[in-house]
Structure 1
Amino acid sequence: MAAVTTESLAAVQRELAESVAQADLEVAEELFAALDVLDSSAGLRRSLTDPSRRPEDRAAMVRRLFGSQVKSTTASVLEALVTRRWSRERDLGDAVEIMAVIVVAGQAEREGLRGLEDLESALLDFRRTVASSHEVQRALTDSQAGADSKQQLAARLTPGVSAQARLLIDRAVTKPRGLRPTQLVERFTEQIAERQQRWIAQVTVAKELDPAYVQRLGASLDRYFGRELKLDVVVDPAVVGGIRVQVGDEVVDSTVAAKLNDLHRKLAS
């Protein structure tokens, strides 16, 4: 994505983080339905991304189109998106899709890391199953086949998956947006994997840690970050001593190497 689009999407995610984190699958379904409307009308996309229109006018257009038909959280997401600037008209639709996947992932995340892992595994299993059969690939990309038949086939291939996984898989096989279903599922999977990093603490140390210490460290990090984390311990002698912890974008670095680098910067200034 171009810089303008990336910044706009990040701003909306920050602005609505709390409400989106608590949204249910109905919000994701409504966002996907709104995406279908956007994808079906080039004129609408131009109107909602036209920088010459005032942001409040674009938001008012969204309210007229969707306001009475969708939940308040869905409307808030759509209004926030159309008030931002986008590098291309299509980027608005891509952003709606990303927000829908974030809602799905957020519901899985409320079940903890296991929920995200199960969602990712279901998507990967579907992708592998489809990729292994040319017959299945043809059936899912057949332009003459109806959406219902594709959903039924997908359901037979992935029995017992969660409601979150079912929504994303059904979306991929019925509305792939110019991609192959496996390509769209791969895109969804990348977003889920990125979100999982919020639950994985990458711990870098100079030498192997005692198991008892790792257990105590894990409990301390759980309290510090406010969630139950999965520790990924990496031994790197270059850190000399101390410990470096990264959870998502947040880094706590108390290694000797980091302190020496900081000292060198201060001496050089």
Structure 2
Amino acid sequence: MAVTDRDAAPRYGKALFEAAQDQQALSAVSAQLAQVNAVIEATPELMPALASNNLTQTDKTTLMGLLTQDAGDLVKHLVQILMANGRILGLPAVIQDFSDRFDEATGHVDATVTTAVPLTEAQAQAMNQALAKQLKAKTVGITTVVDPSVIGGVKVQSSDLVIDGTVKTRLSKLRQQLLTN
């Protein structure tokens, strides 16, 4: 069975992470990969163009140069290796793998907090501290979502963890209990 780009991504992500760690450049490489990922997301036709047989090698090299123009040698070499090995479409998955490894190494966790009304700055800070303690993380990146249908309370999602203390969920559970009894 052939190895897909997504299957190969952890190998490349791990190799890049270890090389960046050896050079004490984890934060720099992480920031550079975030920039590359932003370009990929802003230009959806870029990755298919790089993988296409319709462009000349010179055109592909020019595109890769534009993609990595602000990146350091490690990121530039990664893109070149992926291109040479026919795995350029796996670049977003490699970036995600590196990001996951970086977050784990730095104790960073991302969480989505859903509330019925916007959180004040003080509430957001208190939520950040509470989540850091609950999730045993050094830092927590919170994305807030306002959804009036939750009525009240808070729903927190982080990776595979969901903490749902919303009024909507409580009412739904109560309705289920009433209907089953």
* TM-score (normalizing by structure 2): 0.65
Aligned twin of 1:232: 143
Provide the residue aligned with 1:121 in structure 2: 35
C-alpha contact (below 8 Å) 1:104/1:164 kept by paired residues? no
In angstroms, what is the RMSD of aligned CA positions? 4.1
Identify the residue that residue 90 of structure 1 maps to in structure 2: 2
- For residue 29 of structure 1, what is the aligned residue in structure 2? none
C-alpha contact (below 8 Å) 2:13/2:94 kept by paired residues: no
Deviation per CA, 1:170-217: give whole Å up to 9, x if none: 22221115xxx4x34345446567887x73211100112221111111
SS of aligned partner of 2:143: strand
In the alignment, which residue of structure 1 is the partner of 2:161? 250
Q: CA deviation at 1:243?
A: 0.3
Q: Residues 106-255 of structure 1: matches in 2 within 5 Å?
A: 116-125=30-39, 131=46, 137-139=55-57, 154=64, 158-159=68-69, 161-162=71-72, 165-177=75-87, 181=88, 183-189=89-95, 199-225=109-135, 226-255=137-166
Q: Which has the higher helix share?
A: 1
Partner amino acid, structure 2, of 1:260: L
Q: 1:140 to 1:236 in 2, by over 3 A?
A: same
How many residue pairs align between the two structures? Answer: 162
* Structure having greater relative contact order (Cα 8 Å, sep ≥ 6): 2
- Mapped contact 1:119–1:164 kept (Cα < 8 A): no
Percent of aligned positions that are identical: 21
Unaligned runs of 5+ in 2: none
Whether the 8 Å contact between 2:113 and 2:157 is mirrored in structure 1 is yes
Task: State how far apart, in whole Å, the 2-side matches of 1:184 and 1:94 are.
Answer: 5
Match of 2:169, as an amino acid? A
Which structure carries more strand by proportion? 2
Q: Cα gap change, 1:212/1:191 in structure 2, threshold over 3 Å: closer, same or farther? A: same
What does the per-residue CA deviation read over 1:105-157, in whole Å, with 9 as the maximum and x for residues that have no partner? Answer: 76679957x864541322554795x94x99xx522588xxxxxxx6x995686
User: Secondary structure, in 3 states, of the residue corresponding to 2:56?
Assistant: helix
Unmatched runs of 5 consecutive residues or more in structure 1: 1-88, 143-149
Compute the displacement of 1:245 (Å): 0.7
Counterpart CA distance in 2 for 1:190 and 1:201 is 16
